Amino acid sequence: MAVDLRLEEEHEALRRTVEDFAQREVAPVIGELYEREEFPYKLVAQMGEMGLFGLPFPEEYGGMGGDYFALCLALEELARVDSSVAITLEAGVSLGAMPIYRFGNDKQKQQWLPSLCAGEALGAFGLTEPDGGSDAGATRTLAKLDGDEWVINGSKSFITNSGTDITRLVTVTAVTDFEPGSKRREISAIIVPAGTPGFTVEKKYSKVGWNCSDTHGLAFNDVRVPAENLLGERGRGYAQFLSILDEGRVAIAAIGTGLAQGCVDECVRYAGERVAFGKTIGTYQAIQFKIAEMQARVYTSRLAYYAAAAKMLRGESFKSEAAIAKLVSSNAAMDNARDATQIFGGYGFMNEYPVGRFYRDAKILEIGEGTSEVQKMIIARGLGL
């Protein structure tokens, strides 16, 4: 059987549609929004109208009836122009809505998914804690059952989409069995609606990049929610979110690929315009070779996330492939952003040029949703080491 990497007609049509949206709607405005560190509400609403937030969800919940690979294609095209917009979509779908879809009961799905799929509301994923980082299983946030309510105390860090005007819920991991002296740690997932008394969204972070993305720390002080807000099986919260992260890493790999491709796009254009020593710089072999290496990284990165997504859609184990895709794509994004900045010279250091944003945005791809070191651990374990 021949290997065919061409996109199916529906996927190619989606890719072209999002490419056009990114170039026509995102590119003209994102520079100023980025400079002001302003959340792109209008762009989010437009993506909602296009159905992008509902891409991988069934039509019965207001989704588009597509698949996760369709989401990845959309993310790549958005990230070719700006990663803040891309990560807003990625987090809204894979971290906000997907846990509800994967693990929620019928009532929870009916309550939350229609507005999340429409992009009218955003959900967030409360996993990381101030002292947690890569050791996400060392959860300190506590949730105690008091009658028919959970009482939650603790804090979370670096939570995307957690403080916007349209954020409606945060799904929080918390220790739900903490008997003194017990070695057993039961971590469960609980839905906390925005505005619940005792639930505080802290001041937004001052970040190196992703300036149009919404990111906050969260505090929970005797937050009370109904016992029925438990998401999935009690004690399975951490395992649930590990599976969510496997999917998310494929999506992040698509963003890394898009950023790396955006660097190539900008450099090809600039190399044909910029004149040095009487010639356009694209005629010099030094520049040609650098851009050629950049394109090779993009090609490899795209193949890696396509392969991981293919195994995911076939229902096969894809943990190692997702880790490989994220590792390769984040390296490609960082390397290409550095090379693009070098090609642009002094202009590459200016925020008015896209490559300046790309450089600032690339680094977090080696950290978020599992550091590069964590990806290497996963890959090594997959080899039996």
Residues 328-357: b if buried by 16+ CB within 10 A, e if exposed: bbbbbbbbbbbbbbebbeeebeeeebbbbb
273 is catalytic: no
State how far the alpha carbon of 115 is from the alpha carbons of 85, 92, 118, in Å.
Answer: 19, 11, 5
DSSP code string of 339-376? HHHHHHGGGGGSTTSHHHHHHHHHGGGGTTTS-HHHHH
Query: Out of 25, 129, 321, 369, which one is annotated catalytic?
Result: 369
Tell me, rounded to whole angstroms, the distance of Cα 127 from its chain centroid: 14
How far is residue 198's CA from residue 274's CA, in Å, rounded to a whole number?
A: 56
Q: Which of 177, 245, 209 is nearest to 333 (CA)?
A: 209
- Angle at alpha carbon of residue 306, lines to 302 and 310, rounded to 5°: 175
Taking residue 20's Cβ as centre, other Cβ atoms within 10 Å add up to 11
Backbone angles phi, psi at 350, to 5 degrees: -100, 135
Question: The tokens of 106 are what?
Answer: 């019928």
- Residues with catalytic roles: 369
